[in-house]
Amino acid sequence: MHKALREALANCIVNTDFYFPRGIVIRKDAESIILENPGSIRIGKEQMLKGGISDPRNKALMKMFNLIGIGERAGSGVPDIYSVWEQQGWESPEVMEEYGPDRTILKLSFIKSADKKALIKRNLQKKPDNNWKK
């Protein structure tokens, strides 16, 4: 899991468009870590999720990370992150893009998939309270 988090952070940094406002934002709460960086996904969201192609915006930063053993140029980082989350039984990561200004957001949830399904099922099974007056 730690390697997947390092990969997510490295991806966030090496794909940041430093000319856009708001910079890199990383938020953590009890249920998730959200990594946001300015700039769109250069290879497209579908290709990023599939893997196999790498096009870092900041190649010098990528080289620095490679020298200390973080990240790789094979384009397999994001699929590896998804794989780790699946192995842990957590909700699948979410990749979102915003435009105007461009922003890429990766949400890594620590909620077990089964827990979420059970919570939804429990909420659906609750009977409505019919004791209210008209």
- Which numeric CATH code is attached to 2-125? 3.30.565.60
DSSP structure string for 36-101: EEES--TT-HHHHHH-S----S-HHHHHHHHHTT---TTS-HHHHHHHHHHHHTBPPPEEEEETTT
98 pLDDT band, cuts 50/70/90, is very high
pLDDT surpasses 90 at 114 = no
pLDDT surpasses 80 at 84 = yes
The domain spans of the chain are 2-125
Better-scored residue on pLDDT, 88 or 128: 88
Q: What is the pLDDT of residue 134?
A: 43
Q: What is the pLDDT of residue 57?
A: 93
pLDDT surpasses 60 at 1 = yes
**Long-range pairs for 24-31 at CB < 8 Å and ≥24 separation?**
30/110, 31/109, 31/110, 31/111
pLDDT surpasses 90 at 90 = yes
Model confidence over 58-71: pLDDT tens digits?
999 999 998 998 87
30 pLDDT band, cuts 50/70/90, is very high
pTM over 0.85: no
